[in-house]
Amino acid sequence: MRLRNQIEVLLEQAQIKISSMVSDILGKSGRRMLDALVEGIEDPVELASLGDRRLHASKEQLADALSGHLTKPQRIVLRLYLQQIEHIERQIADLDQALAAALAPHQDAIERLCEIPGVSVRTAQHIIAETGPRAEVFQSAGKLASWVAICPGQQESAGVSVSGRSAKGNWMMRRALSQTAWAAIATKGREAQRRFRAWRPRLGTQKAAWAVAHYQLRVIWKVLHEGVHYRQPDTEALTHRALIARAKRALTELRKLGYDVSIIPPQPQPSASGS
């Protein structure tokens, strides 16, 4: 965000290093400190006391980072920056209310989308605004993925891929899906995280996350187009199928090398019974 960067530059010029101790200077702790600076409070200890106790930095570290000095002109500029941010936040709140009112008839679709790990209410609203409540325009998940351009484009020359970049698509959907994918990846025990871990060694971090976004888009299409609820896949069954597939690939490779091998299913174990 441009205003956040401008505030950080202003504070650095005043030797006030809030951003080195607070992850988000526009979060609750950061805003309390910035408001105090605008009001002329410069005592580092007093400013440090405004930080939330959950911050990783100690009060002493915060006080040391807040030991700079804002000149009067810098304080005026900081006040103007904060006023601009508050104005933008009010506009966003108004837009959110208008969007919620417009999508009220599609509350059921929003709720079903929110069942998908990583999808927030705002993201669900944006998805429906872009695709429609049933994604009726897109007859398949592949057509929706093509419209969003979430499938990496493959440009080949003499059978060799020379580009893996994604084509231009709906930028709002791409941005929303990127955020959704990372949120789902961070959720323990979910299918998105399992897929990400399986794909990352082969694809790398960014491409694996993009593959997760593509997987989620297909789930989103099914939830909307078919009017169904999201259901977490059976991880145990998926793992079993993956092991079988891996064994078959190994079997094929061994046969190519001249080995005569086959897969023998395990015999059922006799149940123990008392005599």
- Per residue in 227-255, pLDDT (tens digit) is 998 887 755 555 566 567 666 777 777 67
Same domain, 147 and 188: yes
- How many other C-beta atoms can be found within 10 angstroms of the C-beta atom of residue 192? 24
Looking at the structure of the chain, the number of domains it has is 3
231, part of any domain: no
Same domain, 62 and 144: no
274, part of any domain: no
Sign of the dihedral defined by the CA atoms of residues 23, 25, 31, 35, in that order: positive
Same domain, 211 and 196: yes
Report the pLDDT value the prediction gives residue 97, as an integer from 0 to 100: 85
List the single range of 82-96, 122-136, 196-210, 240-254 with lowest mean pLDDT: 240-254
Question: What is the pTM assigned to this prediction?
Answer: 0.61
126, part of any domain: yes
230, part of any domain: no
Q: Would the pLDDT of 156 be above 50?
A: no
Report the pLDDT value the prediction gives residue 263, as an integer from 0 to 100: 63
What does the alpha-carbon distance between residue 220 and residue 218 come to, in Å, rounded to a whole number? 5
Q: If pLDDT is split at 50, 70 and 90, which confidence band does 217 have?
A: very high
Same domain, 186 and 200: yes
Report the pLDDT value the prediction gives residue 163, as an integer from 0 to 100: 44
Residue 71 CA to its chain's centroid (Å): 39
247, part of any domain: yes
Report the pLDDT value the prediction gives residue 273, as an integer from 0 to 100: 45
Q: If pLDDT is split at 50, 70 and 90, which confidence band does 268 have?
A: low
Q: If pLDDT is split at 50, 70 and 90, which confidence band does 207 have?
A: very high
Report the pLDDT value the prediction gives residue 246, as an integer from 0 to 100: 64
Q: If pLDDT is split at 50, 70 and 90, which confidence band does 152 have?
A: low
Same domain, 116 and 216: yes
Residue range 198-210: mean pLDDT, rounded? 92
Same domain, 147 and 255: no
Same domain, 76 and 116: no
What does the alpha-carbon distance between residue 49 and residue 23 come to, in Å, rounded to a whole number? 17
Q: If pLDDT is split at 50, 70 and 90, which confidence band does 29 have?
A: confident
What does the alpha-carbon distance between residue 67 and residue 119 come to, in Å, rounded to a whole number? 41
CB 29 within 8 A of CB 52: yes
Q: Which of 46, 66, 101 is the last residue of a domain?
A: 101
Same domain, 84 and 49: yes
210, part of any domain: yes
Q: Which of 74, 101, 128 is the last residue of a domain?
A: 101
Tokens found for residue 39: 């009001």
Same domain, 117 and 89: no
Higher-confidence residue of 190 and 199: namely 199
Same domain, 196 and 221: yes
Q: Which domain holds residue 94?
A: 2-101
Residue range 12-36: mean pLDDT, rounded? 87
List the single range of 15-29, 44-58, 87-101, 144-158 with lowest mean pLDDT: 144-158
Report the pLDDT value the prediction gives residue 269, as an integer from 0 to 100: 54
Q: What average pLDDT does the structure give for the chain? A: 82
CB 182 within 8 A of CB 216: no
Q: Would the pLDDT of 21 be above 70?
A: yes
Same domain, 36 and 137: no
275, part of any domain: no
Amino acid found at 204 = G
Same domain, 96 and 111: no
CB within 8 Å of 266: residues ≥ 6 apart: none
Q: Write out the DSSP string of the chain.
A: -HHHHHHHHHHHHTT--GGGT-S-TTSHHHHHHHHHHHTT---HHHHHTTS-TTSSS-HHHHHHHT-----HHHHHHHHHHHHHHHHHHHHHHHHHHHHHHHTGGGHHHHHHHHTSTT--HHHHHHHHHHH-TT-TT-SSHHHHHHHHT-SBP-EEETTEEEE-PBPP--HHHHHHHHHHHHHHHTSTT-HHHHHHHHHHHHH-HHHHHHHHHHHHHHHHHHHHHS--------HHHHHHHHHHHHHHHHHHHHHHTT------PPPPPPPP---
256, part of any domain: yes
Q: If pLDDT is split at 50, 70 and 90, which confidence band does 264 have?
A: low
